[in-house]
Structure 1
Amino acid sequence: MTKNYITVEIEGLQLEKFINLAVESGISLWNVKRISFTNIKFNMYDKDFKMIRKIAKKTNCRVKILNKKGPIFLFKKLHRRIFFIVGLMCFSSLIYIFSNIIWSIQISGNKYLNESLILKSLSKSGLKIGAYKKKLNLRDIENSVLKDIKEISIITITLDGTKAKVEVVERTMPPTIIDTEKPMNIVAEKDGIITKVIALKGQKIVREGDYVKKGQVLISGIITDSQNIPLEVTRALGEVYARTWYESIKEFYLNYKYFERTGREVKKVYFILPNNKIIDLKPVVNNFTLYDKIINKENVKVFGIKLPIVKVTEHYYEKVEKNKKLSYNEALEMALKEIDKEFSTILPKGVKILDEKYDKIITKDKVRIRKLVVIEEKISKEVEIK
């Protein structure tokens, strides 16, 4: 019996009549399934398709072939492309073989340990250039390296294509006690382009070069299989670094307006009790039109003991508006100083600056400066899985 069969869909209002005529005509149908009120599908031998079309015409039904299975259909497609198929098979075999060999080893996280020492230990454990991936037991290799190099507290080995990524944590600080029972995701604190992912525990969701948005999951505490079915919920551990950017725009008019303090000051003192009641012993009226206001708060102390009473001192400094004609160079210099001052407060400490760009626009009456700074910083934070 031939193994060549087709899957057919029939659409019409006389489906029962269609089936009865097909059976009466000796046509074999199997896996008959109703899709909807007007549609059914079934399997049949391809040799009977001409008869099916005649029956469909009698019952005003439409016929559509959904699938064809069997050697004859495959042969019809491939008999004129045999050399291409043979070449493709050979090429696929080579690709398969080469894709299962380790061609590079990338080590990260080692600040003090020599990379060659780690590579030597990995080689002794079986992970080296040319190693066959399917023969590697990554967990055994990790344990072997931990025993061999006492300066390493954590090591994680992952395979990314033909590259082995080795991420280590050195024993430079006492280990932090972490509640590993509490399920956590590691998410992005801000937008950025990923530069480094160190996933010590959990399922890595992103990789280098990915653009991520604030709140996006980077390392998931929900471990899933290849079909995205959850297998385990854990606490994700690791760090993620990204390329981020900060922007500042400043404008200075050549007819520069600024404020200058006159030296006159009004001071107002009052107390806030525990019940939030305010006691103003000496009411003061501020009659300044323009002023700077500075508030200082401190707890009242008696013999060095803090009382639950807050002393509030409000300082009002009178100021007046003045004008000054600036040159273009003066305006540019003032704008740059303001931008640098702003960046000194908004940029995280100790980050690596990757790029800086300036744009300036000069018109008849003003100067506009835009500065863009690109840095690499840690953007990951833990968020509890609800």
Structure 2
Amino acid sequence: MDKNYITVDVEGLNPEKFINLAVINGLTLWDIERLSITNMRFNMKEKDFKQIRHIAKKTHCRVKIARKNGFIFLFRRLFKRIFFIIGLVIFVLLIYIFSNIIWNIEIVGNKVVNDQLILKSLNKAGLKVGTYKKNINLRDIENSLLKDIKELSMVTISLDGTKAKVEIVERTMPPTILDLEKPMNIVAAKDGILTKVIALKGQKLVKEGDFVKKGQILISGVIKDHENLPIDVTRALGEVYAKTWYESIKEVPLKYRYFERTGKCEKFIYFVLPNNKIIKLWSNINKFQFYDKIIEKEQVKLLGFNSPVTKVTEYYYEKIEKIKNLSYNEAIDVATNLADEELIKIMPKDIKILERKYDKILMKDKVRIRKLILTEEKISKEEEIK
């Protein structure tokens, strides 16, 4: 008998009649056995299976393949799963390849030297994201980093899976020594009314209470005699403090125009490769006239590891222009908030506030507010004498 055959179950009120008709029609059946009063089982060639369907219909029986026997059926099953097998092989290869690539560089221990400078030096020495681990000589890279960045006294690089850990010990650098022979003036960095003048070296040209303009010389490095003739040139040293001010004027109409989100949002996704090349999966066209734009970035993960590819998602939230009729008090509140926001942006954080002044003017169709903040701060800076 053929080594490649199928085992068939037939079920019906008269399975014997089915067997007899199959044999009469020239079909070869063997190892026929009764499973129950209504069930019988037999073996046959697979190519004959289609021919027994009309016999099953005549005898009101149901037939089904119980199992397939032989190498040819095993080969077919394997062939149907060939893509799965290929995918499995590729999966294993990718795991092996990605597990031997540096996907993350962690820098610890540095306080003065910034990460970007260290990463730039590592890149030049041959260690960067995407580098194959077998191509890395850790000791050579450590020595290169020490030669490249003088602020480092010791560098230790270790590999942990796909991560390179760079441990830094910084050198205690000597304090910066001023070149006292270099001619310098002390000048005003901004306008102000002087509150304190400390001249350690050089010729003081101003006094407390003077109003000075930006760029004006406060302590001169050029020393002059009583006849106003220069007798020496030096580096002026000192500090000068002054009263300064920050002002913001805002006008808000009573017929106030503003923007409000509609709830509609468009999302566009693209990928950025290490060479800054952008790959877009589809054309991104924002159809909104007014919108808020928010950008999110994340590293693409492959098999649980961060890859050098960045996924960028852009969100566009539609806005529409609206008009609201404000009362004078509401308009004043809006203008005040706008002025406060502007002052926060332009004022230094460590400034000393002396006084706040606030003026408002109500007009026919709008309000105007003026916020003035008086401060005291250091306004002196060095400027080379040319």
**Structure-1-length-normalised TM-score:** 0.48
Bigger Rg, which one: 2
**Structure-2-length-normalised TM-score:** 0.48
